[in-house]
Amino acid sequence: MTVPAPLLEVERLAKVFGSGRTAVRAVDGVDLSADAGEVTLVMGPSGSGKTTLLTMIGGLLRPTEGRIAVDGIEVTGLGKAALARFRRETVGFVFQAFNLLETLTAEENVEVALNVAGVLGRPARARATELLVAAGLEGRLGFGARDLSGGEKQRVSIARALANRPRLLLADEPTANLDSRHGREVMELLRGLAQEQGCGVVAVSHDARLESIASRVYWLEDGRIRREA
Amino acid sequence: MRPHVPVEMIGGAMAARRVPVARRNLLAEKTRLLMSVGGVAFSVLLILVVVSLYRGWGAAGGLFEELPGDVWLAQVGTSDPLRTTSFLPADRIDEVAAVPGVGAVVPVYARRISLDPARSELTVYFLSLDVPSSGRQPPEAQRFLPPPGTIAVDSVLAREAGVSVGDAVSVLGRRLVVERVEPGGNPLFQIAFMNGDDARSLLALDRLVSFFLIAVDPGADAQQVARAAATAVPGSEPHTSADFANATRDLVNQGFLPVVGALVGIGFAIGGAVIALTIYTLTIEKARDFGVLKAIGADDRFVYRIVAVQSLAVGLVGAVVGIASSALVATLIRRRVPEFVTDLRPLDAAGVLALALAVSAVAALVPVRRISRIDPAMVFRA
């Protein structure tokens, strides 16, 4: 019987910024994996390379060395157009600063992600509504993004990330800008979604509260994995 | 990679609406939008007013087509009625009238006369149709046939000469009363009408006429009639009313077309610059939003479409406002300035609208490089 491959495989991943004497190895030979239906947490202090690692997994930054495979897709070998397709179909992003489009409503922020994937009109609206209701925002659908609280913005951000049914959700400090109550709510939401939708969640954070929802925790320091739990 | 699109999302609804990101971006800063639309509208207004002014002045040539006749017999070499002089023997009228297909012949007297000897620039082209005063004339011909002792002028000439209905003016030493002031005219040349009896005695043209104006019988071949009539008057050549009208329009074209071209070019340059500046600043301002869209998988085309829609929307709204306001502005100015004779044509408005949209499309290309350089990874920076 063959063991199914992990949803995410990262091998000997490295990223060097600059060159010569000013070269900085932000990520230095990282190996990690993550499975569907689980929350994988990468922790570490500021400047440890967490966000750089996440950015490379999400196909937004090309690694200097190493390999990334998501759901069988060799991300490191993809061209520009294929990377864009990978980002809209295979991964979803949850940002520390939410990154909602301020001129749009909560519902439109989710809908626009579906538009990006070619889903338009009523089907897009219905999917956006479904996700926001699931995120507990049924009373905020038509609210402008700028009129939402931090916790609500992060919920919209999560709904947007899930709009195109990604296999892997990448969350960058998802609780950093939230108070403890909203932070806990977002954590529960991430765990629930991972289990219900069967997608994997990779979160990078220095918030120790996230350990309680994680199935696997990596400790990153100076661009290297120091511990795995 | 699998398409994560549910079955119910495939089909006709795929062609449905998108989230109106472009509209929301524009409406987010209403003052800037107003200024942009205002800038484009002002450019379109400038362009359309100049073009309609050109059309209005050019319409003065149409007078020759409104006069009751089809063919003008003129002295050989008289291609332009306003700038050349024509003399024909008056006693050949019966021979012309006898040409098959000729319905009626009217002797026409024409001469440039200084209306006010003290003002050399006020030179008027007087036309006189020698139609018997006793005959009943159709109402539309009345403005060309003032009664003896009177003249008919247009409003531009009336303003230039400082006269109105009932005022007397001195023409070659004789007092003639302004009988009517017709709307229209243009500042390049003035045309007035006097009675045939007055013209004959004032211009001392007892045995000469300037032109024979021929009305061709319905069904007759105008070209054939014109050639036959010309053979009846030695030293003459035929011109259609359209020939004379076009020659007069050429006068306007020569004096006005280069100016129109320059102003239209400037107008479009200003409009294009306003749109380009708006779209470029908006692109820079929304760079992070575009970065977010790229991060979640939007390709450059998706982002370009937003920018293009923004640009076209500003161009379209500005052009429509400009077209609407140009008609209003032209009317308001004309109340105070009679020389401001405009003719706003739907086809010109449609052309300006199409060009405004074309300029908008070009302006949308200005931030293309900026958009392609937006790094989606920027969204991870707080």
pLDDT of the residue at B132: 66
Q: For the whole model, what pTM was predicted? A: 0.75
**What ipTM was assigned to the predicted interfaces of this complex?**
0.91
- Selected for mutation to probe chain A from B4, B17, B19 (highest A CB count within 10 Å) is B19
Contacts of A123 in chain B (CB under 8 A): 6, 8-9, 13
**Among positive and negative, which fits the CA dihedral A117, A120, A125, A126?**
negative
Cβ contact (<8 Å) for A122 and B28?
Answer: no
| Interface check B2 vs A, CB under 8 A | yes
Task: Please name the member of A60, A115, A122 whose beta carbon is closest to the beta carbon of B13.
Answer: A122
Quick one: closest CA in B to A107, which residue? Answer: B19
What confidence tens digit (pLDDT) does each residue in B188-210 have? 778 899 998 898 888 877 788 99
pLDDT classification of B12: cutoffs 50, 70, 90: very low
The pLDDT of B271-296, averaged and rounded, is 87
pLDDT classification of B120: cutoffs 50, 70, 90: low
pLDDT(B139) > 70: no
| Interface check A160 vs B, CB under 8 A | yes
| Location of structure tokens 């340059």 | B269
Cβ contact (<8 Å) for A121 and B293?
Answer: no
pLDDT classification of A157: cutoffs 50, 70, 90: very high
| Interface check A164 vs B, CB under 8 A | yes
- Per-residue tokens: A52: 């750089």
Give the Cβ contact number of residue A217 at 10 Å.
17
What confidence tens digit (pLDDT) does each residue in B233-272 have? 999 999 998 888 888 888 778 877 788 788 888 888 888 8
Taking a contact as any Cβ pair under 8 Å apart, which residues of chain B between 45 and 84 contact chain A? Answer: none
What confidence tens digit (pLDDT) does each residue in B62-114 have? 788 888 888 999 999 888 888 888 999 989 999 999 999 998 898 999 988 88
In whole angstroms, what is the distance from residue B289 CA to residue B132 CA? 81
In whole angstroms, what is the distance from residue A174 CA to residue A171 CA? 6
For residue B245, give Cα distances in angstroms to A4, B73, B153: 89, 14, 18
Residue, of A32 and B15, whose pLDDT is higher: A32
What confidence tens digit (pLDDT) does each residue in A173-193 have? 888 878 878 888 888 888 887
Taking a contact as any Cβ pair under 8 Å apart, which residues of chain A between 76 and 105 contact chain B? Answer: 81, 84-90, 92-93, 95-97, 99, 101-104
**CA torsion angle for A200, A145, A108, B321 (degrees, to 10)?**
-150
Task: Please name the member of B13, B21, B292 whose beta carbon is closest to the beta carbon of A99.
Answer: B292
**What angle, rounded to 10 degrees, do the helices at A106-116 and A121-134 form?**
130
Task: Please name the member of A88, A99, A111 whose beta carbon is closest to the beta carbon of B379.
Answer: A99
Measuring CA to CA, which residue among A138, A115, A108 is closest to residue B9?
Answer: A115
Cβ contact (<8 Å) for A55 and B2?
Answer: no
Cβ contact (<8 Å) for B376 and A97?
Answer: no
Instruction: Compute the C-alpha angle B241/B246/B250, nearest 5°.
Output: 150
In whole angstroms, what is the distance from residue A36 CA to residue B114 CA? 98
Cβ contact (<8 Å) for B380 and A122?
Answer: no
pLDDT classification of B8: cutoffs 50, 70, 90: very low
Cβ contact (<8 Å) for B302 and A116?
Answer: yes
Residue, of B91 and B186, whose pLDDT is higher: B91
Contacts of A113 in chain B (CB under 8 A): 296-297
In whole angstroms, what is the distance from residue B18 CA to residue B7 CA? 19
- Per-residue tokens: B249: 């329009």
pLDDT classification of B283: cutoffs 50, 70, 90: confident
